[in-house]
Chain A
Amino acid sequence: MPPPRTSLSSSPNAYPKAMRLFWIALIGVFVAVGAPNVFRKAARSRIHFAGPFHSTDNFLHFETGEIDVTQKLLALFASVPATKKIVIFVRGDDRQSGVIGMLVAYLAWPHPARIVDVSQPGWEASAGEKDLGSVGKFVFCRVGPPGWWPGGDKFGETLEVFSAPSVAQE
């Protein structure tokens, strides 16, 4: 049901033609200013990896240069019991490292996740696992693993996953 069609304004419009021109000009400039930016940015969008992991695959491909990283990480995490923790090492002063770490934590479900920022002083104490048996995997995101650790599953140069039992054996 439409409202009664009376004017909303309490005062008459003194310069209707001028106002009309003003609004037409304003709308024209509105489109002229917005459109180039909209179309320029829209033209950059390209579809890659259309699948159930469309977004994480794209992000991890960008970060590691590899494809299907999501499925590979899920398979690695699925190989350890769900109660085991996933410990993720990142550098807080490196945004990309933090992003990869958060994506890994996202994919690590249903495992408990723990993100350790190695740029923070005293991180070794906070990362120190008294019971290595509670950890399923160690993940290094743009952080170099200890040199004496056995080889892990590498994804490009930026992401490496280690199995906790094999680390414990070393």
Chain B
Amino acid sequence: MNLLSVLGACLMIVAAGFGALRLVGVQGQQSHSVFAFSWVLGTGIVSLLIWVLGLMVGGALIPTLVSICCLSLFFWGAKVSANRLIILPRLSQASKIEILLGAILLIEIGAMFYWSYVHTLGLDGILNWEIKARYGFASNGALPSSYFQDSGRAFTHPGYPLGIPNTEMWLYFWLGDSNQFWAKTIFPLFYAAGALLLVALSAHLIGWNTPGLIAAVLLFFVPQVSVEGGSAVVGYADFPLGTVYLATIGSLLVYCRSEDVRWFRCYAACLALLPWIKVEGALLWLLAALCGAWVIFRRKGSSARFLALLPGAMILSAWHIYLACMHTVSSHDFLSVNLSNLWANIYRLGPIGARLLEELTNLEIWGLSWLVFIVSAVLAAVKFRNLMAIVLLTAIISPIAVYCFSYVLSPWPDYLGHMGVSISRLLMHVAPLGLLMTAIVAAESWRELPGASIASAGTRTLD
């Protein structure tokens, strides 16, 4: 019974995301691409609806209204165009290697589901994220002001946004009770969405399935993503944020490549959700918005496209106004940004750089991934001297630089210890994008061989 309830809740999320995807104009996609984007957009829509409706109504009315909204979006999206709703993959058109890679990918996703159920939520997964879902569910669907003001629970970071907790709460509505076991279901689904986005975006960018499939299969062999502390299945918001960031930047890259404005709308929709997933999402939103603005400027696009940057800013502002109204207790994770603090701690930059290098070369945690990403980044910079390369490299390198710089303002006396407990998780925000870059760069290495060029790979594209 619980399994059916969870299935119903997840289907409703995908239905809402599917409607939104059709409404932004991205239609006629392969099933895996539709699922991945629908999951990303659906979780954002459902969690935002729960938050907004929770301000006005309570109890059973919230899930009822959210369900009505999800179904309305689905039917509206289904009617908006005569295009087929989804295109199922045709094995007859796929090469043997693609079928093999697809089968491995399915097994990996199955393994992630299994590991998510046998593994507990991580401590931060319980104390920063699931706690909000549980308390919100126990309080008729909205976190009470007493939670935001409770200094005894400041360690749970009441100011963190509700993208993940409200998605967990959505499952609780369907289950009829809070449940730490079933709440974990959403995390392997984010993993599946991330892996499938790699396949779909690679196919759109290079017109060929195999490199994206290889990248998606390799994602599983990054220990930090699959099994390490803070991995994709222990209830932390980092991998979901990485998935949304991949969807955002990936859509922008497809727009750069195709000049198809529907992909710019998809970029705008995903961009808006970044600050709703995690605090660091606000930084990723800013960087992705700058990338989008740069693309509009270089392509001499309509200035109306700058409006696409507004929804994210509105969500960010609304959340901070809400926190201020709730008199939320603050948890000081960093020193305030001013010249005296910066000057006093600037000496930390050297040790922070050394610690970053140590992290990137830690084979136990990252395997060979960062070495591969660095090689890919160098090749991308040398070979693709175009707008796409600039966007891709900026989107990967700038968050890492800002994250590292933030430790200059760490209030911990052992600032390297602070970095040690969090940098692995922060790097997960850009790791999926690193794999996308690797898929693109590696695919280019094939192009000069007879019968293997991207241009000749037309029959093997997704759509």
Q: Which residues of A contact B (CB under 8 A)?
A: 1-13, 16-17, 19-20, 22-23, 26-27, 29-31, 33-35, 37-38, 41-42, 45-47, 50-56, 58-59, 99, 102-103, 105-106, 109-110, 112-115
Centre residue among A8, A13, A30, A33 by max chain B CB count within 10 A: A8
How distant is the Cα of A6 from the Cα of B123 in the complex, in angstroms?
48
Contact of B180 among A4, A7, A42, A56 (CB under 8 A): A56
Name the distance in Å between B239's Cβ and chain A's nearest Cβ: 15
Contact A23 B181 (CB under 8 A): no
How distant is the Cα of A73 from the Cα of B375 in the complex, in angstroms?
53
- Measured as residues with beta carbon below 8 angstroms from the partner, the interface class of chain B is 35 or more
By Cβ-Cβ distance, the 10 closest A-B pairs, closest first, are A34-B367, A34-B221, A16-B448, A19-B445, A113-B152, A3-B258, A41-B227, A5-B207, A54-B181, A55-B120
Query: A5-B457, A20-B449, A26-B368 known; 14 other A-B pairs, CB under 8 Å?
Result: A7-B453, A8-B384, A13-B448, A27-B214, A30-B367, A30-B369, A38-B221, A38-B227, A42-B111, A51-B181, A59-B123, A110-B146, A112-B146, A113-B152
Name the distance in Å between A163's Cβ and chain B's nearest Cβ: 19
Contact of A33 among B126, B228, B367 (CB under 8 A): B367
Contact B448 A12 (CB under 8 A): yes
Name the distance in Å between A58's Cβ and chain B's nearest Cβ: 5
B409 at the binding interface (Cβ < 8 Å): no
Describe B's contact surface by its main secondary structure: helix
List which B207-248 residues lie within 8 A (CB) of chain A: 207, 214, 218, 220-223, 226-228, 235
Contact B205 A8 (CB under 8 A): yes
Q: Which residues of B contact A (CB under 8 A)?
A: 28, 111, 115, 117-121, 123, 125-127, 130-131, 134-135, 138-139, 144, 146-147, 150, 152-153, 155-156, 177-181, 203-207, 214, 218, 220-223, 226-228, 235, 254, 257-258, 260, 363-364, 367-369, 372, 375, 382-386, 388, 440, 442, 444-449, 453-455, 457-458, 461-463
Q: Given A3-B204, A8-B440, do A99 and B123 touch, yes or no (CB 8 Å)?
A: yes
How distant is the Cα of A33 from the Cα of B375 in the complex, in angstroms?
17
- Residues of chain A with a CB closer than 8 A to B458's CB: 5
Name the distance in Å between B422's Cβ and chain A's nearest Cβ: 16
Q: Which residue of A lies closest to B461 (CB)?
A: A2
Contacts A/B (CB < 8 Å), 22 sampled:
A1-B28, A1-B463, A3-B204, A3-B205, A5-B461, A7-B447, A8-B257, A10-B385, A13-B448, A16-B447, A20-B445, A29-B368, A30-B369, A37-B363, A38-B221, A42-B227, A52-B178, A55-B130, A59-B123, A99-B123, A105-B152, A110-B139
